[in-house]
């Protein structure tokens, strides 16, 4: 999969191992969530069951994405990425339990939030590879990114904001590595300046997360 990633660079291409590391941790959370679904009916909370169809849809979409990705079909792969990312975001911001108080409700929220959090990176990564391959971001993209990242950190659950910071750091490292390999130009990404901008946004978002956490912000 990494060889396909390397053949399709874009301005939102992250360091590939950032995604792998995130998914490894997320798989543990998903297994814990699945274990809760297998408890006796009386022990499974309504919120845990409510997320199950969205959880299944997301994992199915990722499975389909892998088929397109492994066949080097970026535009085809972008379709299940959109389905997964947008549905997980909808669940997190519209349907999740806003006041989780039990183990199951907190676990369900962290699973859905991390699913949506990495889904944001998947959306921009796959989208840039599919439709803007080897193109540097224009001024409008830079402005929107500079506004959207901190704004999201201000209004989202802290766990989701932390995921956005992780996404930004992953992109920053990936863009730096692309720029380092370039003899002329940006190496297929946005260049060193873009890498530094995205990394700076990651630091800013992390600062917002810290400030909100100190002031009692909600994690889940």
Q: What is the pLDDT of residue 180?
A: 86
Q: Where are the domains of the chain?
A: 2-214
Instruction: Tell me the per-residue pLDDT of 149-164, one tens digit each, with 9 for 90 and over.
Output: 999 999 999 999 999 9
Q: What is the pLDDT of residue 214?
A: 97
Q: Is 157 exposed, middle or buried (0-12, 13-18, 19+ CB in 10 A)?
A: buried
- Arithmetic mean of pLDDT, 3-27: 91
Instruction: Tell me the per-residue pLDDT of 165-199, one tens digit each, with 9 for 90 and over.
Output: 999 999 999 999 999 887 555 667 889 999 999 99
Q: Are 108 and 47 in contact (CB under 8 A)?
A: yes
Q: What is the pLDDT of residue 186?
A: 61
Q: What is the pLDDT of residue 107?
A: 98
Q: What is the pLDDT of residue 187?
A: 67
- In the structure encoding, which two tokens stand for residue 111, read together? 């699973």
- In the structure encoding, which two tokens stand for residue 197, read together? 């901008």
* Host H or E run for residue 208: helix 191-214
Q: What is the pLDDT of residue 184?
A: 58
**DSSP 8-state assignment for residue 95:** I
Closest CA to 177 of 158, 156, 198, 160: 198
Q: What is the pLDDT of residue 217?
A: 94
Instruction: Tell me the per-residue pLDDT of 74-92, one tens digit each, with 9 for 90 and over.
Output: 999 999 999 999 999 999 9
Alpha helices in the chain (DSSP H): 2-7, 16-37, 46-70, 74-90, 103-131, 139-155, 158-181, 191-214
* pTM summary value: 0.95
Please, which residues have CB within 8 angstroms of residue 108's CB and are 6 or more apart in sequence? Answer: 33, 36, 47, 48, 51, 96, 97, 100
Q: What is the pLDDT of residue 5?
A: 86
Instruction: Tell me the per-residue pLDDT of 29-64, one tens digit each, with 9 for 90 and over.
Output: 999 999 999 999 999 999 999 999 999 999 999 999
Cα within 13 Å of Cα(135), Cβ side? 12
104 vs 88: CA distance, rounded Å: 18
């Amino acid at each position: 999969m990494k060889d396909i990633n390397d053949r399709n660079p874009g301005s939102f291409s992250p360091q590939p191992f950032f995604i792998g590391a995130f998914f490894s941790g997320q798989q543990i959370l998903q297994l814990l969530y699945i274990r809760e679904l297998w408890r006796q009916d009386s022990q499974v909370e309504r919120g845990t069951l409510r997320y199950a169809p969205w959880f299944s849809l997301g994992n199915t979409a990722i499975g389909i994405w892998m088929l397109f990705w492994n066949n080097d079909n970026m535009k085809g792969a972008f379709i299940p990425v959109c389905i997964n990312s947008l549905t997980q975001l909808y669940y997190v911001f519209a349907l999740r339990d806003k006041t989780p108080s039990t183990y199951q409700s907190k676990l369900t929220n962290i699973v859905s939030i991390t699913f949506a959090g990495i889904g944001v990176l998947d959306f921009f990564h796959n989208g840039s590879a599919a439709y803007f391959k080897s193109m540097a971001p224009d001024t409008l993209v830079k402005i929107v990114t500079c506004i959207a990242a901190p704004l999201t950190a201000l209004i989202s659950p802290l766990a989701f904001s932390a995921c956005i910071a992780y996404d930004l750091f992953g992109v920053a490292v990936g863009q730096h590595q692309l720029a380092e390999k370039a003899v002329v130009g940006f190496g297929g990404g946005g260049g060193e300046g873009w890498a530094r901008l995205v990394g700076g946004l990651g630091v800013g978002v992390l600062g917002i997360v810290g400030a909100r956490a100190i002031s009692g912000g909600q994690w889940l």
